Amino acid sequence: MKSGKLTRFNLRAVTAALASLVVLGGVGVGIDAYAADSRATSVATANVVRPIAIAQAVDGALNFGSFSVPAGGTVKIFPTATSGGGRVVVNAGPVLIGAAPGSAGKLDVTGEASLTYAITLPADGDVIIIGPGTTGIRTMAVNSFTSSPTPTGQLSALGAQTLLVGATLTTAADQVTGAYSGSYTVRVEYN
């Protein structure tokens, strides 16, 4: 009988030990499942492109040509005009002089091949050209700027494009005679 008691005791001890292992093992597995982490390695990339630039072409001045002003009015250059192209519209007073009355501004845009860019032209009231002397009406406003292309451009496969600029010049009846000049700014930035 002693061996029967021992067997029952051993059986109870083994059962209790197994039950404890199952309980503790289950808890341990649960803790391990929550404590596990997951990691991945990914790739970081970058693409550096040529900066966009703009500059006036050698023959690129916005030229309103020569005219007399018996009365006030406007002289308009279209952005499709080229040197000697003659795409000029006169409203009211100014009378054009000569065979090549004016030309569009010509700017060279360079940068990364095939990228598009936005064009920002001067606002009305921002640009005047100034003539000679110190008395009389010696300024003329340049407004209504337009461009070709507009409002965005796209660089060629070589990373270049010509941007033409037109505008409207307002004259007064008593405009001082002589050469007038001034500057304007065109801004370009990648889209």
CB count in 10 Å sphere of residue 164: 23
Bridge-based pairing state of the strands 95-97 and 88-92: unpaired
- The answer to whether residue 99 scores a pLDDT higher than 70 is no
pLDDT tens, residue by residue, 50-66: 999 999 999 899 999 88
pLDDT in the model for residue 3: 54
pLDDT tens, residue by residue, 129-160: 999 988 888 999 999 999 999 999 999 999 99
pLDDT in the model for residue 31: 52
pLDDT above 90 covers what percent of the chain? 56
SS3 7: helix
- The answer to whether residue 165 scores a pLDDT higher than 60 is yes
